[in-house]
C-alpha cells in the first residue's frame, strides 16, 4: 500500500482562475490514487477573482487543503520552499496552476518513489508531458486523442545523469520526489527561471536515485508568451549563473560549461521564431 503524500501547488497573481480550477481538480478529485493533502502557496497578493477561486477550492475540496499565504511575491524558489516546509508527508508531488495531471499520474509515480514488488524506492520520478494550447484539447487528450507534442525526457538513471550536463533531465511540473532528498540537496535556491534545474542537478550530484516515466502523465499548457519567456537578457543572466554553479560543484567540466554557455546562452538571444523552431525540433528528436 502506498503511503500518504502531499501535492505542492504554487499560485501567483498571473494565474488564470479557470486554469487553476481545472489543475486543482485533476489532482484533488480525478486521481486513481488521491493525495492526503494539497499545499497551495499563494506567492504574494492576488486579484479578487483568483482569491475567490482559492477560497472556493479550499472550502469545497474533499482533500485537506493548506493555503500558505505569503504577504509579498517572493519568486518561485522561496514560494516552493515555504510550501515544502508545510508539506506533512515525505513524498511530495509538484503541480503547476495551469497544467493538468492525468488520472493515473500519482498511482504510477508514487509507487516508483516508495518502491513496490521488491523494487527499491527512488528519490525523484518525472514523466513525459503532452503540450496543449487550447482548453478544448484537454478533454480530447484525456479521452485518448493525440492533441499536442509529447516531450519525452531521458528515462534511465544513466541517461538522466548524462542529459543533466546540458539540459534539465526532468519536465519540472511532472516530478514526484522525497522531501528528505530535496532537503539533503539544500532545497530550492533562487536562480530566476532555473530553480528546478539547479535543484535537480544538486540532487543528482548528491546521489539521488532517479527515473522518468515514458508516458505523458501531465498535460502542459503552452500559452501565449511561452517561447518569449525562454529568451531575453534576464534569462541569459540566469543561464550564465547556472553554468558557473554547475562548474563550481564539479558537475560539469570546463569544456562542457563553455559548450553550454555558447549553445544554451545563444538560444536565449535568438529571435523568438527561431527559439520556437529549435524547441520543437529538440522535442521531435527524443
- Kindly report the pTM of this predicted structure: 0.89
Q: Which stretch of 111-125, 183-197, 220-234 has the lowest confidence by average pLDDT? A: 220-234
Q: List, for residues 156-202, the tens digit of each pLDDT value.
A: 999 999 999 999 999 999 999 999 999 999 999 988 889 999 999 99
Is 269 a residue whose pLDDT tops 80?
no
What pLDDT is recorded for position 119?
77
Cα–Cα dist 20/50, whole Å: 9
Q: Which stretch of 25-39, 81-95, 168-182, 252-266 has the lowest confidence by average pLDDT? A: 252-266
245 burial type by CB count under 10 A (0-12 exposed, 13-18 middle, 19+ buried): middle
Q: Do the strands 176-178 and 210-221 form a parallel or antiparallel pair, or are they unpaired?
A: unpaired
Q: State the first-to-last Cα distance of the chain, in angstroms, to the nearest integer.
A: 34
CB 11 within 8 Å of CB 97: yes
Cell 472556493 identifies what position?
A: 56
Closest CA to 28 of 56, 62, 60, 4: 62
Residue 3 vs residue 35, higher pLDDT: 35
Confidence band, pLDDT 50/70/90 cuts, at residue 244: very high
What pLDDT is recorded for position 286?
47
Domains recognised in the chain with CATH numbers: 6-223 (3.90.550.10), 225-286 (no CATH)
CB 213 within 8 Å of CB 182: no
Q: Which residues contact 233 (CB under 8 A, 6 or more apart)?
A: none
284 burial type by CB count under 10 A (0-12 exposed, 13-18 middle, 19+ buried): exposed
CB 10 within 8 Å of CB 41: yes
User: Average pLDDT of 274-285?
Assistant: 53
Amino acid at each position: 500500500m502506498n503511503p500518504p503524500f502531499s501535492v505542492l501547488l504554487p499560485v501567483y497573481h498571473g494565474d488564470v482562475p479557470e486554469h487553476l480550477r481545472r489543475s486543482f481538480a485533476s489532482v484533488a478529485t480525478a486521481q486513481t490514487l488521491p493525495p492526503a493533502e494539497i499545499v497551495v502557496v499563494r506567492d504574494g497578493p492576488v486579484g479578487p477573482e483568483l482569491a475567490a477561486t482559492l477560497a472556493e477550492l479550499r472550502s469545497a475540496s474533499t482533500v485537506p487543503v493548506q493555503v500558505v499565504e505569503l504577504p509579498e511575491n517572493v519568486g518561485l524558489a522561496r514560494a516552493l520552499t515555504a510550501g515544502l516546509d508545510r508539506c506533512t508527508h515525505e513524498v511530495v508531488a509538484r503541480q503547476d496552476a495551469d497544467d493538468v495531471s492525468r488520472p493515473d499520474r500519482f498511482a504510477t509515480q508514487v509507487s516508483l518513489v516508495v518502491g513496490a514488488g521488491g523494487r527499491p524506492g527512488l528519490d525523484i520520478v518525472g514523466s513525459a508531458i503532452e503540450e496543449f494550447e487550447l482548453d478544448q484539447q484537454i478533454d480530447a487528450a484525456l479521452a485518448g486523442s493525440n492533441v499536442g507534442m509529447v516531450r519525452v525526457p531521458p528515462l534511465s538513471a544513466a541517461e538522466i545523469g548524462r542529459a543533466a550536463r546540458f539540459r534539465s533531465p526532468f519536465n519540472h511540473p511532472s516530478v514526484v520526489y522525497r522531501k528528505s532528498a530535496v532537503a539533503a540537496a539544500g532545497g530550492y535556491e533562487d536562480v530566476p527561471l532555473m530553480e528546478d534545474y539547479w535543484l535537480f542537478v544538486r540532487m543528482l550530484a548528491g546521489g539521488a536515485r532517479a527515473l522518468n516515466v515514458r508516458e505523458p502523465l501531465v498535460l502542459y499548457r503552452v500559452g501565449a508568451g511561452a517561447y518569449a519567456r525562454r529568451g531575453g537578457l534576464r534569462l541569459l543572466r540566469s543561464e550564465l549563473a547556472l553554468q558557473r554553479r554547475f562548474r563550481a560543484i564539479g558537475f560539469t567540466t570546463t569544456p562542457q560549461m563553455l559548450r553550454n554557455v555558447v549553445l544554451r546562452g545563444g538560444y536565449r538571444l535568438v529571435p523568438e521564431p527561431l527559439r520556437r523552431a529549435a524547441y520543437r525540433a529538440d522535442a521531435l528528436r527524443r
